């Protein structure tokens, strides 16, 4: 069957659709406005539709409008989630040849059909598709109505003349690919079908097609001058316009075509207090309700201001995504996301990288989120076109740097393909219009984004210019404007931000200290892939340092992974697809089914609304909110913890204006040598729609006398009473109760027993490997190249000294790697005391040319029945040197099972930073300095080897690691290198581990 070639023609974007316009649903009376389903003018056509799937549209029968159906499919949904076609995850690479505007002949096709009953009231009838991927041919009663594309925008057809009384047939042909797919190369599972709601609207004959609420605010924001642009489909006619205040009081009520109304004592909207007015538009038969908030977003002197305050975005990038429903997201699912965001101090959303459902921003208006509304444009795949590369040579290429610069520029030139190609100008503009026109009355939308990663050029300049004249009240963002084609000088005059993704804190410093012309926005940062977001605190310290920096949007909100046949999550490659990008889709703050990762907990507490600091013997609280006095939102709960035990506490209501600090009226304990902590927890002091009273907004902890420790000291006993038997390969040390067997080849204990019972089930080991996190994916190659994954211990000399107090074993040893060299030179002193106490003193030297170490410490394989571990350190969630703001110092209890985090792609997890001791029934472990420890049912080798958590095999033992240091987490999976201060990169270090057998 030959369909018209609209889907390979960038000049044909829509046939017989109504112009893009604001989203609203007409009602008959105010009574039904709480839900569109209740409006008598709204008929939802979701449900099970008839469905046929064809691997190519060429297989569509000639007479497809009369064909029989084999299947049913729910609308809305993606057909890949219902057994048709297959899942395919690709990020940058196009999943088809780059050959615009052509797409493959093997272009999968879905034929949808349903009937519905209709009685005409003599009005106009509009059939709406809120989202279809990638394009649709639409037929009513077997007559062609129209064609449309732009997956994430509404296609509305006037079907009045096609409908008949009684039964009506709807047929929709959906193609997987069209020329628009070149502009929809977002980093996502590529899914197809009618994935958003379908409904019929009944409208008046001369109906109000569009309106645009505009207002000007006075300098001090107390007065607004409100006007309305109206667009009826024939001539404009008078409307009754009423405005109701947030307290439900009528502000004005007018009959007008053009009107302009002054409002005094304006109550402003902001995300901390989203005050909304209700605008009611009435014609003879229709009531249209639009919530509006008054707010002002502007840039002055390179600083971003919202309602005259310099504010910062604590943002996330959010996709519509669900493991079961794919792109089809219900109201309840979206609300769940928003609630989780509120609970975790997220205040802004970038709709990456396309408009969400039309009602999504309505929720953002209501619950309070700043929104960057992004149009449905990404053509990143153009940057993957082959460029001329030097022929491989085993000799050094002296022109390397020049070549690298040339390759980079050629790649950028390719990247700008669609940004500059006149053939795609119409499509790029159309996508801006779809975005702006639909959401232009949304209060939460304060920035329009031209799209994502599509290079820059004339087409985007035209897009920005169009937006600026259409909606001068909002700001315009486009990150890819930083890419310049070699033959083109970019005009950035209609862009309000300097935007980057994944820049380092040093990049922010550099921009804000030198250029300063536009606010710096990180539209993506702190890539949340796997165990991640180790850099949040540093980013926020940096954002706060610079007025020009207005925060950023974490990439990204949720992991993407459909369910596999085994009901487990699958990522790229798990569906047999190619090309694919592996687990790069697993980079969210929450799991695919919305379980918060520790990443989100770190983000939450870094973004807490208030922070305490210990200054001149006083506790000073700073209010980081922009519009709210602390007393209006939270209670400060405090408790003193002496040597791990809570002694006293209380709560306070604190009067503190936004951006101000106050001293807390609490008296602090004297330094009596105890370990004293002050824990402060900030809890919500009233119920809001998304946050319950007493919800914890964040916490602080102040270690009042950090020099005081609460760990046990090893006590020297008087008599050793040990027998020592030394052979060529071993040293055996034993008395009535204890037995140690020392391996002289390796330089470490191979057995430790108390009363005949082994403490360790395998020889002790020095461990410096960790299962690479996703953020280690780049450094991993350097680690492997240095042989870090293939190393073992080797001793050179062992000297045993027996004194009255102890048996001491001095060892010179090293960690060596096959085919490589020495990784560490170790000077070790083991001291064994008679009553089950022993220590290991280590001096380690590392060749400076080798990469930093993942970790360094001792590994114990403990018996499974060793019991529960108690520790004092940062818990109870996993914590690292650069990721411990989610955790508090305290006494915690855990088991290997509880301590393990099941990242879908296994990796290092569950470490605890800043520990003073770890205690099992039969072992007490500490060190001469705070350390990290880990307890896991899995070895690092197993976590390294497996690529899905559901394939992991448990060790027969409990794996206990006590680490001098565990390198930080960072966000290098797509971000800056791990900062030096978080690396184990010392060329020499010393530590003494101490143990007591219980």
Integer angstrom CA distances of residue 185 from 181, 418, 433, 673: 7, 12, 19, 61
Q: Is 524 in the site for ligand IPT (CB under 6 A)?
A: yes
Q: How far is the CB of 585 from ligand IPT (least distance, A)?
A: 8
Helix (H) or strand (E) holding 540: helix 536-545
The CB density around residue 63, as the number of other CB atoms within 10 Å, is 9
Q: Is 184 in the site for ligand IPT (CB under 6 A)?
A: no
Determine the Cα–Cα distance for residues 459 and 427; give it in Å rounded to an integer.
9
> Measured from the CB atom, is 318 or 527 closer to ligand IPT?
527
Q: How far is the CB of 183 from ligand IPT (least distance, A)?
A: 14
Q: How far is the CB of 449 from ligand IPT (least distance, A)?
A: 11
- Residues of span 435-494 touching ligand IPT by CB under 6 A: 452-453
DSSP string, 649-669: EEEEE----TT-EEE---PPP
Say if CB 118 and CB 410 are below 8 A apart: no
> Measured from the CB atom, is 528 or 877 closer to ligand IPT?
528
Q: Is 602 in the site for ligand IPT (CB under 6 A)?
A: no
Q: Which of 555, 766, 783, 788 binds ligand IPT (CB under 6 A)?
A: 555
Q: Is 561 in the site for ligand IPT (CB under 6 A)?
A: no
Q: Is 183 in the site for ligand IPT (CB under 6 A)?
A: no
> Measured from the CB atom, is 539 or 584 closer to ligand IPT?
584
Q: How far is the CB of 974 from ligand IPT (least distance, A)?
A: 5
Selecting among 202, 286, 437, 453, the annotated active-site residue is 453
Q: Is 374 in the site for ligand IPT (CB under 6 A)?
A: no
Say if CB 331 and CB 337 are below 8 A apart: no
Q: Is 354 in the site for ligand IPT (CB under 6 A)?
A: no
Say if CB 505 and CB 943 are below 8 A apart: no
Q: Is 574 in the site for ligand IPT (CB under 6 A)?
A: no
- The strand pair at 822-833 and 912-920 is best described as unpaired
Q: Is 559 in the site for ligand IPT (CB under 6 A)?
A: no
The CB density around residue 122, as the number of other CB atoms within 10 Å, is 7
> Measured from the CB atom, is 499 or 605 closer to ligand IPT?
499
Q: How far is the CB of 299 from ligand IPT (least distance, A)?
A: 23
> Measured from the CB atom, is 581 or 827 closer to ligand IPT?
581
Determine the Cα–Cα distance for residues 886 and 606; give it in Å rounded to an integer.
8
Torsion sign across C-alpha atoms 503, 506, 511, 516: positive
Say if CB 746 and CB 795 are below 8 A apart: yes
Say if CB 292 and CB 155 are below 8 A apart: no
# chain residues binding ligand IPT, by CB under 6 A: 12
378 is an active site residue: no
Determine the Cα–Cα distance for residues 929 and 710; give it in Å rounded to an integer.
12
Q: Is 774 in the site for ligand IPT (CB under 6 A)?
A: no
The residue number with the shortest CB distance to ligand IPT is 187
Say if CB 530 and CB 909 are below 8 A apart: no
Determine the Cα–Cα distance for residues 973 and 559; give it in Å rounded to an integer.
14
562, two tokens:
């459909």
Q: Is 936 in the site for ligand IPT (CB under 6 A)?
A: no
User: Hey, what's the torsion of the CAs at 354, 358, 361, 367, to 10 degrees?
Assistant: -140
Q: How far is the CB of 553 from ligand IPT (least distance, A)?
A: 10
The CB density around residue 655, as the number of other CB atoms within 10 Å, is 11
Q: How far is the CB of 877 from ligand IPT (least distance, A)?
A: 24
Q: Which of 329, 358, 354, 256 is nearest to 24 (CA)?
A: 358
Determine the Cα–Cα distance for residues 512 and 551; give it in Å rounded to an integer.
12
Q: Is 525 in the site for ligand IPT (CB under 6 A)?
A: no
Q: Which of 184, 197, 587, 882 binds ligand IPT (CB under 6 A)?
A: 587
948, two tokens:
């899905």
453 is an active site residue: yes
Q: How far is the CB of 501 from ligand IPT (least distance, A)?
A: 5
> Measured from the CB atom, is 424 or 555 closer to ligand IPT?
555
Selecting among 184, 479, 524, 878, the annotated active-site residue is 524
Q: Is 974 in the site for ligand IPT (CB under 6 A)?
A: yes
Q: Is 91 in the site for ligand IPT (CB under 6 A)?
A: yes
* Residue appearing with tokens 């929809």: 184
From residue 114 to residue 153, the character string flagging contacts with ligand IPT as x (rule: CB under 6 A) and all else as - is: ----------------------------------------
Between vectors from CA 375 to CA 371 and to CA 376, what angle results, nearest 5°? 130
> Measured from the CB atom, is 502 or 769 closer to ligand IPT?
502
Q: Is 425 helix (H, G, I), strand (E, B) or coil?
A: helix
> Measured from the CB atom, is 557 or 964 closer to ligand IPT?
557
Q: How far is the CB of 527 from ligand IPT (least distance, A)?
A: 6
From residue 401 to residue 440, the character string flagging contacts with ligand IPT as x (rule: CB under 6 A) and all else as - is: ----------------------------------------
Sequence-ordered list of residues with C-beta below 8 angstroms from that of 697, at least 6 positions apart, any chain: 345, 608, 609, 610, 633, 634, 682, 683, 684
| Three-state secondary structure readout of 29-94 | CHHHCCCHHHCCCEEECCEEEEEEEECCHHHCCCCHHHCCCCEEEEECCCHHHHCCCCCCEECCCC
Task: Determine the length of the chain.
Answer: 998
531, two tokens:
């165990």
Q: Which of 85, 184, 185, 187 binds ligand IPT (CB under 6 A)?
A: 187
* Residue appearing with tokens 């009231």: 121
- Residues of span 274-313 touching ligand IPT by CB under 6 A: none
> Measured from the CB atom, is 791 or 978 closer to ligand IPT?
978
Q: Which of 584, 682, 768, 960 binds ligand IPT (CB under 6 A)?
A: 584
Q: Which of 501, 589, 814, 889 binds ligand IPT (CB under 6 A)?
A: 501
Q: How far is the CB of 966 from ligand IPT (least distance, A)?
A: 25
Say if CB 914 and CB 871 are below 8 A apart: no
Determine the Cα–Cα distance for residues 521 and 543; give it in Å rounded to an integer.
10
> Measured from the CB atom, is 431 or 859 closer to ligand IPT?
431
> Measured from the CB atom, is 437 or 559 closer to ligand IPT?
559
Q: How far is the CB of 508 from ligand IPT (least distance, A)?
A: 17
In angstroms, how far is CA 688 from the centroid of its own chain?
A: 25
- Give the footprint of ligand IPT on this chain (CB under 6 A): 91, 187, 452-453, 501-502, 524, 527, 555, 584, 587, 974
Active site residues: 453, 524
């Amino acid at each position: 069957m030959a369909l018209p070639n609209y889907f390979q023609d960038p000049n044909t974007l829509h046939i017989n659709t109504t112009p893009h316009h604001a989203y609203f649903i007409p009602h008959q009376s105010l009574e039904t406005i709480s839900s569109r389903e209740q409006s008598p003018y709204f008929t939802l056509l979701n449900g099970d539709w008839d469905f046929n799937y064809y691997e190519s549209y060429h297989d569509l029968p000639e007479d497809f409008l009369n064909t029989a159906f084999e299947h049913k499919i729910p609308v809305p949904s993606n057909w890949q989630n219902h057994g048709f076609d297959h899942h395919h995850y690709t990020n940058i690479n196009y999943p088809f040849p780059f050959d615009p505007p052509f797409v493959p002949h093997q272009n999968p096709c879905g034929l949808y059909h349903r009937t519905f009953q209709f009685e005409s009231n003599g009005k106009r009838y509009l059939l709406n598709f809120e989202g279809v991927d990638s394009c649709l041919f639409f037929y009513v009663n077997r007559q062609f109505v129209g064609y449309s594309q732009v997956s994430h925008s509404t296609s509305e057809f006037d079907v009045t003349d096609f409908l008949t009384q009684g039964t009506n047939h709807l047929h929709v042909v959906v193609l997987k690919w069209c020329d628009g797919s070149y502009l929809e190369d977002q980093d996502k599972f590529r899914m197809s079908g009618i994935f958003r709601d379908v409904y019929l609207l009944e409208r008046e004959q001369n109906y109000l097609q569009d309106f645009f609420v505009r207002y000007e605010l006075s300098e001090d924001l107390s007065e607004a001058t409100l006007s309305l642009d109206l667009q009826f489909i024939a001539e404009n006619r008078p409307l009754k316009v009423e405005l109701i205040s947030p307290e439900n009081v009528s502000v004005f009520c007018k009959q007008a075509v053009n009107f302009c109304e002054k409002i005094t004592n304006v109550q402003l909207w902001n995300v901390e207090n989203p005050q909304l007015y209700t605008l009611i538009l009435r014609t003879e038969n229709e009531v249209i309700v639009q919530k509006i908030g008054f707010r002002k977003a502007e840039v002055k002197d390179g600083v971003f201001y919202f309602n005259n305050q310099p504010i910062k975005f604590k943002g996330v990038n959010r996709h519509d995504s669900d493991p079961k429903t794919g792109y089809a997201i219900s109201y309840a699912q979206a609300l769940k996301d928003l609630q989780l965001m509120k609970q975790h101090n997220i205040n802004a959303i970038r709709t990456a990288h396309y408009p969400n459902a039309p009602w999504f921003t309505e929720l953002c208006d209501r619950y309070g989120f700043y929104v960057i509304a992004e149009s449905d444009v990404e053509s990143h795949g153009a940057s993957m076109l082959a460029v001329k590369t030097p022929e491989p040579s085993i000799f050094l290429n002296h022109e390397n740097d020049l070549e690298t610069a040339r390759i980079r520029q050629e790649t950028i030139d390719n990247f700008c393909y669609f940004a500059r190609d006149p053939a795609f100008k119409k499509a790029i503009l159309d996508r801006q219009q779809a975005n702006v026109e639909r959401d232009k009355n949304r209060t939460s939308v304060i920035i329009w984004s031209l799209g994502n990663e599509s290079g820059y050029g004339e087409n985007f300049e035209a897009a920005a210019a169009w937006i600026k004249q259409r909606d001068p009240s909002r700001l315009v963002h486009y990150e890819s404007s930083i890419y310049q084609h070699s033959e083109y000088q970019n005009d950035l005059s209609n862009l309000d931000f300097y935007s980057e993704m994944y820049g380092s804190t040093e990049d922010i410093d550099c921009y804000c200290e030198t250029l300063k012309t536009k606010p710096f926005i990180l539209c993506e940062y702190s890539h949340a892939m796997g165990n991640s977001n180790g850099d949040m605190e540093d980013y926020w310290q940096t954002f706060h340092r610079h007025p020009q920096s207005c925060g950023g949007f974490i990439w990204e909100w949720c992991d993407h992974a459909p369910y596999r046949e085994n009901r487990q999550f699958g990522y790229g490659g798990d569906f047999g697809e190619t090309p694919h990008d592996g687990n790069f889709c697993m980079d969210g703050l929450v799991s695919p089914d919305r379980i918060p990762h520790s990443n989100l907990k770190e983000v939450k507490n870094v973004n807490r609304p208030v922070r305490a600091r210990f200054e001149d013997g006083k506790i000073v609280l700073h209010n980081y909110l922009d519009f709210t006095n602390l007393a209006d939102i939270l209670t400060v709960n405090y408790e003193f913890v002496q040597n791990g035990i809570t002694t006293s506490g209380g709560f306070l209501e604190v009067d503190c204006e936004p951006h101000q600090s106050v001293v807390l009226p609490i008296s602090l304990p004297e330094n009596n040598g105890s370990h004293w902590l002050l824990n402060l927890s900030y809890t919500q002091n009233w119920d809001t729609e998304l946050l319950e009273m007493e919800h914890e907004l964040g916490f602080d902890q102040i270690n009042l006398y950090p020099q005081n420790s609460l760990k046990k000291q090893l006590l020297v006993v008087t008599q050793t009473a040990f027998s020592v038997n030394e052979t060529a390969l071993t040293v055996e040390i034993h008395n009535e109760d204890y037995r140690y067997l020392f391996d002289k080849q390796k330089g470490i204990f191979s057995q430790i027993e108390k009363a005949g019972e082994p403490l360790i089930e395998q020889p002790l080991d020095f461990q410096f490997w960790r299962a690479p996190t996703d953020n280690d994916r780049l450094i991993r190659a350097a680690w492997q190249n240095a042989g870090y994954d293939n190393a073992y211990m080797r001793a050179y000399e062992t000297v045993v000294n027996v004194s009255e107090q102890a048996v001491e074993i001095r060892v010179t040893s090293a960690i060596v790697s096959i085919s490589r060299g020495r990784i560490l030179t170790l000077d070790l002193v083991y001291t064994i005391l008679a009553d089950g106490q022993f220590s290991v003193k280590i001096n380690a030297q590392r060749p400076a040319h080798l990469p930093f170490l993942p970790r360094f410490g001792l590994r114990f394989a403990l018996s499974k029945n060793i019991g529960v571990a108690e520790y004092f350190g940062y818990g109870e969630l996993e914590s690292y040197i650069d990721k411990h703001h989610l955790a508090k110092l305290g006494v915690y209890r855990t088991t290997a099972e509880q301590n393990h985090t099941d990242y879908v792609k296994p990796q290092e997890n569950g470490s605890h930073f800043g520990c003073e001791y770890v205690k099992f029934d039969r072992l007490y472990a500490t060190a001469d300095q705070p350390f990290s420890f880990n307890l896991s049912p899995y070895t690092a080798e197993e976590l390294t080897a497996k690529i899905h958590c559901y394939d992991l095999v448990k060790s027969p033992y409990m794996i206990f690691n006590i680490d001098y240091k565990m390198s930080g987490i960072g966000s290098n999976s797509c971000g800056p290198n791990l900062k030096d201060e978080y690396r184990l990169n010392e060329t020499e270090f010393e530590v003494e581990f101490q143990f007591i057998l219980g």
